[in-house]
């Protein structure tokens, strides 16, 4: 592998993971990493904590500076340089230095796409960029920090109530701003059942975050271009001086599609369990991809940190391997995520009832309310919904909303789902009981029994 040149397009999580694994696999290979921004390796999931002031220095989020990463992994790291074109037939790329606008080309032997995802911007706001922000990169946080610290921002409107929107709204409130959250489809819909979404909504409102079931239709600006209000589809006018859009993400797959890589129904680059694309010599990893999930063999996107890291390692190893031995593979996905909003924890795994039914699956669900710990210990309410196939009784999903200690229970569900476990398998888990720590009947045990009755 001494003369092999591996090019990685994109940083953050999956790109650096691919470089690191490629270097371990092929110590003598030449590796070049391209990143259009200034940062290549950082903890994106911690950015809301920086916005909230819980993390005081941005440096804490940076895992490697470009220089430190290049030194550690003997890689040619090129920041502020964007790959614009891939010629898969001749195995060459064309890239632009975004500081000088100089355009150059480079040959490669193996290519790894780690281009990530971009924030969706509603068409009604797309032309109104001033005072409208997204939260996708450290550069986004830098801009938001400058605005909050140097301006007299009083009222922020957050558009979107998914995980990022909730995180951002909570963080901005923690900074002392008035916050309005626009949630036209319901909180964390369709991930959470509507009753659970209502619990989250009430928690947000108790923290003085205004939640409105309205959609942004346009903006009103001052003469100098500053935003002064958001207009909604219900004819309301919400005065504000800061807007953050968190309306989901879309995979950055344009470059790959142009090179002939197949793109899936969700817009991501299609990959197999070796992270190979449809074009020989090109792998892809992270948020720009979609692949098979475990439960129903559906093709999904999972823009999650652990998936980015794992898929990057697999892509890096396989791109760098010399062909001897077995290639690295990645297990099918089980989509699981969690979020903390102060004292409230939210988590989900697999499919919910609505999603599974839309796939034509015969499923049933059950919901319970219990408490997180024994009555002798500090405890709080916890709500759990379980979803299972009616005929096989196999667990296919679960959603949890509750107090401290609630979210971690989703790991039990995810483990059982990955093992193709049934409702009976969950019922038979040997949950611990200790009066000072855990209830006699764990909420998951109660939920399993309730679902058994439904089945």
Residue 112 pLDDT class (50, 70, 90 cuts): very high
pLDDT score recorded for residue 391: 97
pLDDT score recorded for residue 373: 87
Residue 151 pLDDT class (50, 70, 90 cuts): confident
| DSSP symbols for 204-235 | HHHTTEEEE---EEEEEE-TTS-EEEEEETTS
- Residues 33-85 have pLDDT tens digits of 999 999 999 999 999 999 998 998 889 999 999 999 999 999 999 999 999 99
Between 225 and 276, where is the model more confident? 276
Q: Which residue has the tokens 């939640």?
A: 211
CA distance linking residue 346 with residue 340, whole number of Å:
6
Residue 126 pLDDT more than 80?
A: no
pLDDT score recorded for residue 2: 66
Residue 215 corresponds to which tokens in the numbers above?
A: 């959609």
Residue 129 pLDDT more than 70?
A: no
Exposure on the CB side of residue 6, measured as CA atoms within 13 A: 35
* Mean predicted confidence (pLDDT) in 218-230: 89
Backbone phi, psi, residue 415, to 5°: -65, -45
Are 192 and 202 in contact by the 8 Å Cβ rule? The answer is no
Q: Which of 333, 249, 316, 321 shows the shortest CA–CA distance to 16?
A: 316
Residue 25 pLDDT more than 80?
A: yes
CATH topology of domain 121-247: FAD/NAD(P)-binding domain (3.50.50)
pLDDT score recorded for residue 180: 98
pLDDT score recorded for residue 80: 98
Residue 127 pLDDT class (50, 70, 90 cuts): low
CB atoms within 10 A of CB 72: 12
Residue 1 pLDDT more than 60?
A: no
- Percent of the chain residues past pLDDT 90, beyond the cut: 87
First to last CA, the chain: 57
pLDDT score recorded for residue 377: 85
Residue 424 pLDDT more than 90?
A: yes
* Mean predicted confidence (pLDDT) in 319-332: 92
Statement: the pTM of the whole predicted model exceeds 0.85 = yes
Residue 128 pLDDT class (50, 70, 90 cuts): low
Residue 298 pLDDT more than 70?
A: yes
Same fold, 5-117+250-320 and 121-247: yes
Contacts of residue 447, defined as CB under 8 A and 6 or more positions apart, other chains included, come to 366, 367, 368, 370, 384, 385, 386, 398, 426
pLDDT score recorded for residue 173: 96
Residue 431 pLDDT more than 90?
A: yes
Q: Which residue has the tokens 């946080």?
A: 141
Give the largest Cα separation in the chain, rounded: 69
Per the prediction, the chain carries an average pLDDT of 94
Residue 123 pLDDT class (50, 70, 90 cuts): confident
Residue 116 pLDDT class (50, 70, 90 cuts): very high
Backbone phi, psi, residue 278, to 5°: -80, -5
Residue 311 pLDDT more than 70?
A: yes
Domain 336-454 has CATH 3.50.50.60: yes
Contacts of residue 210, defined as CB under 8 A and 6 or more positions apart, other chains included, come to 178, 179, 180, 181
Between 413 and 379, where is the model more confident? 413
Name the CATH code of domain 5-117+250-320 (choices 3.50.50.60, 3.50.90.10, 3.40.50.300, 1.10.540.10): 3.50.50.60
* Domain segments of the chain as ranges: 5-117+250-320, 121-247, 336-454
- Residues 255-269 have pLDDT tens digits of 999 999 999 999 999
pLDDT score recorded for residue 130: 72
* Mean predicted confidence (pLDDT) in 422-440: 94
pLDDT score recorded for residue 324: 76
């Amino acid at each position: 592998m001494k003369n092999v040149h591996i090019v990685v397009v994109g940083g953050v999580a999956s790109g650096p993971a691919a470089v690191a694994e490629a270097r371990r696999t092929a110590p003598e290979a030449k590796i070049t990493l391209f990143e259009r921004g200034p940062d290549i390796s950082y903890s994106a999931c911690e950015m809301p904590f920086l916005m909230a002031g819980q993390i005081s220095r941005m440096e804490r989020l940076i895992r490697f500076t470009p220089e430190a990463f290049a030194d550690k992994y003997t890689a040619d790291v090129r920041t502020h340089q964007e790959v614009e074109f891939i010629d898969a037939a001749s195995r060459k790329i064309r890239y632009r230095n975004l500081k000088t606008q100089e355009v150059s080309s480079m040959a490669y032997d193996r290519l790894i796409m780690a281009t990530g995802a971009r924030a969706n911007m509603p068409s009604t706001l797309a032309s109104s960029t001033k005072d409208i922000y997204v939260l996708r990169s450290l550069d986004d946080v830098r801009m938001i920090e400058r605005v909050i610290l140097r301006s007299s921002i009083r009222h922020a409107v957050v558009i979107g109530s998914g995980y990022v929107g909730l995180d951002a709204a909570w963080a901005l409130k923690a900074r002392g701003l008035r916050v309005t959250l626009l949630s036209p489809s319901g909180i964390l819909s369709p991930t959470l059942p509507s009753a659970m979404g209502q619990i989250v909504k009430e928690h947000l409102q108790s923290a003085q975050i205004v939640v409105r079931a309205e959609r942004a239709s346009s903006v009103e600006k001052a003469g100098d271009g500053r935003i002064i209000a958001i207009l909604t589809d219900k004819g309301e006018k919400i005065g504000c001086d800061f807007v953050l859009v968190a309306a989901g993400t879309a995979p950055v797959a344009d470059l790959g599609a142009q090179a002939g890589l197949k793109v899936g129904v969700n817009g991501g680059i299609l990959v197999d369990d070796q992270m190979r694309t449809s074009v020989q010599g090109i792998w892809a990893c992270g948020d720009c991809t979609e692949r098979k999930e475990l439960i129903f063999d559906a093709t999904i996107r999972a823009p999650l940190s652990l998936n980015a890291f794992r898929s990057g390692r697999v892509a890096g190893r396989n791109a760098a391997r010399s062909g001897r031995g077995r290639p690295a593979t990645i297990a099918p996905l089980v989509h699981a995520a969690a979020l903390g909003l102060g004292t409230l924890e939210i988590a989900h795994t697999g499919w919910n009832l609505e999603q599974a039914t839309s796939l034509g699956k015969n499923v049933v669900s059950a919901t319970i309310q219990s408490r997180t710990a024994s009555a002798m210990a500090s405890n709080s309410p916890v709500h759990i919904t379980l979803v299972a196939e009616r005929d096989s009784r196999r667990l296919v999903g679960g959603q949890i909303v509750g107090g401290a200690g609630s979210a971690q229970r989703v790991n039990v569900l995810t483990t059982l789902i990955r093992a193709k476990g049934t409702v009976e398998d969950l019922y038979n888990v040997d949950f611990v009981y200790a009066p000072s720590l855990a209830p006699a009947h764990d909420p998951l045990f109660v939920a399993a029994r309730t679902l058994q009755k439904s089945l």
